[in-house]
Amino acid sequence: MPKIKKLLVANRGEITLRIMRTAREMGIQTVAVYSEADRLSPHVKFADEAVCLGPPPSSESYLLGDKIIEVCKNLGVDAIHPGYGFLSENADFARKVTEAGIIFVGPSPEAIEVMGSKLAAKQAVAKYDIPLVPGTEEAISDISAAKIKAAEIGYPILIKASAGGGGKGMRIVESSDEFEEQMQRAVSEAQSAFGDGAVFIEKFITSPRHIEIQVLGDQQGNIVYLFERECSIQRRHQKVIEEAPSAVVSEDMRKAMGEAAVGVAKACNYYGAGTVEFIVDENLNFYFLEMNTRLQVEHPVTEMITGKDLVREQILIAEGNKLSFSQEDLQINGHSIEVRVYAEDPSNNFLPDIGKLITYQRPQGPGIRVDDGFEEGMDIPIYYDPMIAKLITHGENRGAAIDRMIRAIDEYQITGIQTTLDFCKFALTHEAFTSGNFDTKFVERYFTPELLKPSISSEEEELLAALAIEFLLSQKGKSSSTASTSTPVTNSSWRNRLK
């Protein structure tokens, strides 16, 4: 069995650092690649060796598959981990890596290909009795036939690009009058954004929850599920808060979803770590959405509740080892929550807010994990995903994990840019979240930027009153009418809060 001795991580930032940490624990040498914008990044400093790929844009650096394979040959690298995003779901790249005699830490190119197309994926799972959202099973070629089908399904419906991803390529159609027009737009958008105009329709689930199952499979055909993650708090169809387990999934539902996910994985002879995404309606019926054939951004919450290191498992599987545990060996321990700390301004439609991390101090203490790839003083580059960090907490139960997260958010000191931290605190303390009664509409239903205006605590009120009295007294004692020019408020944390 090949033992991996040197691993190149074809990615950047937090996920690269996270993967390299596990590699180091396993005695594996690490190689970083980087763009000119990331020269001083922690992932580059951490690696045993590092090679610059080119200028900042991904198309001239992190997406240069052939160049990355060249680096592997020059440095005697025997395996590549692609992380998430970039080349991670590129079947051609996985194939080229394998053909070059390098281990691809991920599934087979065939599995990536099938699951990369939402339509091919639905067709592949058809014989496994997996519940699918009612809709068309093939790409739409005949618009009038599709319109009849849409009427059968019932409006609203969703037109989806088969090659879509990252929350893009979806259009809601409210009624039959807009069907043709929306259809034409969807096809041309899919063609220009993904180079593939294939679209299909799905019933639009109006109050859905997004719940996904983590799977792990070895090359011998054993597949297990590592329970669910709930990712319903989203903005722009993209996740911001995730947790495991879900507040609404019962033992029976967990088993049914887990077994369905294993069926999806079997349908494409899956090996490695993968995620099967489901949409859940208000009656807790679940439907298969798609499979992500890579490590997921939110994988840490699963690690916290199962005690398994998913990257270690990925590496062991890539080497050809059998899974060292079975379904019965796995159990859920406590509760874990992740918030994604994005350089975004929640009071301005979550638009990216790029700049310098003037202050950057991480929270610490029991049950807290921070996966990040920045240091104080660094700039957040405009070229990539604006995620600064993932803040993860673990607690005995859901309430404890939430309390711990609120404490951690309060401890996190970031100045210089706006972040999603305050928004996440708002969400975590909202009754809908704490009660577990929420869906993917949380942001549009409950959030307005005014809610983030700083509220004054009683301690701060007392401080203000004391300062006011002091100021008045100082005025009283003055014989002339010129007011004092000294600034009464000097406490820096107080000033920060007034910003």
Size of the site for ligand ADP (CB under 6 A): 27
Which stretches of the chain bind Mg ion, using CB under 5 A?
277
Answer yes or no: are the C-beta atoms of 380 and 417 closer than 8 Å: yes
Which region among 68-76, 106-114, 286-294, 423-431 touches ligand ADP (by CB under 6 A)?
A: 286-294
Please measure the distance between the N-terminal and C-terminal CA atoms of the chain and give it in whole angstroms.
Answer: 59
Which region among 199-207, 215-223, 346-354, 394-402 touches ligand ADP (by CB under 6 A)?
A: 199-207
* 16 part of the interface to ligand ADP, by CB under 6 A: no
d(CA 54, CA 61): 5
Residue from 292, 302, 306, 314 binding ligand ADP (CB under 6 A):
292
Residue nearest to ligand ADP (CB): 165
CB of 301 or CB of 402, closer to Mg ion: 301
CB of 58 or CB of 275, closer to Mg ion: 275
As given in the structure block, the two tokens for residue 222 are 């054993």
Report which of 234, 230, 245 is spatially closest to residue 278, judged by C-alpha positions. 230
For this structure, is 294 an active site residue? yes
- Report how far apart, in Å, the C-alpha atoms of 342 and of each of 244, 346, 380, 421 are: 21, 10, 10, 8
Binding at 394: pick from Mg ion, ligand ADP, none (beta carbon under 5-8 Å per type): none
Answer yes or no: are the C-beta atoms of 397 and 247 closer than 8 Å: no
Which region among 102-110, 203-211, 255-263, 463-471 touches ligand ADP (by CB under 6 A)?
A: 203-211
Q: Which among 171, 229, 235, 294 is annotated as catalytic?
A: 294
* 440 part of the interface to ligand ADP, by CB under 6 A: yes
Answer yes or no: are the C-beta atoms of 370 and 17 closer than 8 Å: no
Residue nearest to Mg ion (CB): 277
Residue from 56, 131, 134, 165 binding ligand ADP (CB under 6 A):
165
Binding at 158: pick from ligand ADP, Mg ion, none (beta carbon under 5-8 Å per type): ligand ADP
* 228 part of the interface to ligand ADP, by CB under 6 A: no
Least distance in angstroms from the C-beta of 277 to Mg ion: 5
Least distance in angstroms from the C-beta of 49 to ligand ADP: 25
Least distance in angstroms from the C-beta of 59 to ligand ADP: 12
* 237 part of the interface to ligand ADP, by CB under 6 A: yes
The CB density around residue 127, as the number of other CB atoms within 10 Å, is: 9
* 373 part of the interface to ligand ADP, by CB under 6 A: no
* 158 part of the interface to ligand ADP, by CB under 6 A: yes
CA angle in degrees (0–180, nearest 5) for 378-379-384: 125
Binding at 338: pick from ligand ADP, Mg ion, none (beta carbon under 5-8 Å per type): none
Q: Is the peptide bond before 300 cis (omega within 30 degrees of 0)?
A: no
Least distance in angstroms from the C-beta of 196 to ligand ADP: 11
Binding at 212: pick from Mg ion, ligand ADP, none (beta carbon under 5-8 Å per type): none
What does the binding site for ligand ADP look like in residue numbers (CB under 6 A)?
A: 84-85, 133, 158, 164-167, 202, 204-205, 208, 210, 234, 237-239, 277, 279, 289-290, 292, 296-298, 385, 440
